[in-house]
């Protein structure tokens, strides 16, 4: 069964994360997303991409169960990121077609990085945005270290990375983390209207504008992703990550101090 549902209608390709109950991403999901964006980039019939989640959650981040299963295999977190999230974030930024995130509920961790990489973010009023990594003693990845401060400022990004508290949908709108906010029942129709408008527009010019934005604002994205992977490798070897994982398994608050 596919973890990414694809639907192409009138130039708008909708990609839906389908991993209930919280759309946590595993290696299969990442591979399907990479393939979907590769295909979308080549397909002239695709003029706009919408990324959303099924059910009540956009994306809870990487599947911790998969991470735990690999603990005894000496998996390199750096190598993992270089093969999975780093290329995906670059694909989203480099595809010369508008990419819209329709954030239907909570989003955290690597899922937040994916949402931040999209060109536009539309959110349901029930959405919540959590950086998430510090809860299991890890550091930022998936472009969050660059994209979050770009959107909301370094001070705010630092606070929410350190405290691991959620940013409300209303606060996200006020700070520019999301472009538009909808009642949950209206997110789908609101997204469809904007996506249809974009698909009917000069997508070639949009693609060139996206290149310009990348050059002006995110010229060091690839370097930032590579450095994040290095820092995540360091964090993954530390005692804080071991404690974070143990606390997760034992369903208790971690004791880092």
- Pair of tokens at residue 33: 């997303």
Question: How far apart (Å, rounded) are the C-alpha atoms in residues 148 and 116?
Answer: 7
Nearest-angstrom CA–CA distance, 173 and 153: 14
What does DSSP say about strands 99-103 and 12-17: parallel, antiparallel, or unpaired?
A: unpaired
Q: What is the pLDDT of residues 111-124, one digit of tens each?
A: 999 999 999 999 99
Token pair belonging to 56: 């009540």
Q: Which CATH superfamily is domain 4-183 in?
A: 2-enoyl-CoA Hydratase; Chain A, domain 1 (3.90.226.10)
Q: For the segment 124-146, what is each residue's pLDDT rounded down to a tens digit?
A: 999 999 999 999 999 999 999 99
233 by Cβ neighbours in 10 Å (0-12 / 13-18 / 19+) ranks as middle
186's CB contacts (< 8 A; 6+ apart) are: none
Residue 63 pLDDT class (50, 70, 90 cuts): confident
Q: Does the pLDDT value for residue 201 go beyond 60?
A: yes
* DSSP of 14-45: EEEE--TTTT-B-HHHHHHHHHHHHHHHH-TT
Segment among 66-80, 85-99, 152-166, 205-219 with least mean pLDDT:
66-80
Share of the chain above pLDDT 90, in %: 89
């Amino acid at each position: 069964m596919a973890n990414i549902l694809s639907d192409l209608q009138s130039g708008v390709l909708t990609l839906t994360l389908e991993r209930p109950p919280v759309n946590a991403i595993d290696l299969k999901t990442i591979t399907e997303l990479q393939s979907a964006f590769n295909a979308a980039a080549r397909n002239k019939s695709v003029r706009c991409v919408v990324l959303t989640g099924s059910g009540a959650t956009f994306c809870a981040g990487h599947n911790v169960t998969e991470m735990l299963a690999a603990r005894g295999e000496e998996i390199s977190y750096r190598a993992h990121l270089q093969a999975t999230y780093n290329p995906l974030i670059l694909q989203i930024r480099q595809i010369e077609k508008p990419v819209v995130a329709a954030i239907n509920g909570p989003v955290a961790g690597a899922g937040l990085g994916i949402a931040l990489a999209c060109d536009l973010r539309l959110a349901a009023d029930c959405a919540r945005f959590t950086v998430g990594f510090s809860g299991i003693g890890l550091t930022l990845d998936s472009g969050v270290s660059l994209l979050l401060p770009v959107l909301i400022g370094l001070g705010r990004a630092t606070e929410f990375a350190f405290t691991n508290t959620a940013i409300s949908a209303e606060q996200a709108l006020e700070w520019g983390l999301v472009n538009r906010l909808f009642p949950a029942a209206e997110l789908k129709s609101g997204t469809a209207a904007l996506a249809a408008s974009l698909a009917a527009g000069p997508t070639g010019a949009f693609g060139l504008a996206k290149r310009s934005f990348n050059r002006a604002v995110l010229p060091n994205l690839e370097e930032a992703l590579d450095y994040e992977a290095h820092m995540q490798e360091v964090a993954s070897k530390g005692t804080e990550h071991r404690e974070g994982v143990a606390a997760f398994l034992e369903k208790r608050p971690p004791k880092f101090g």
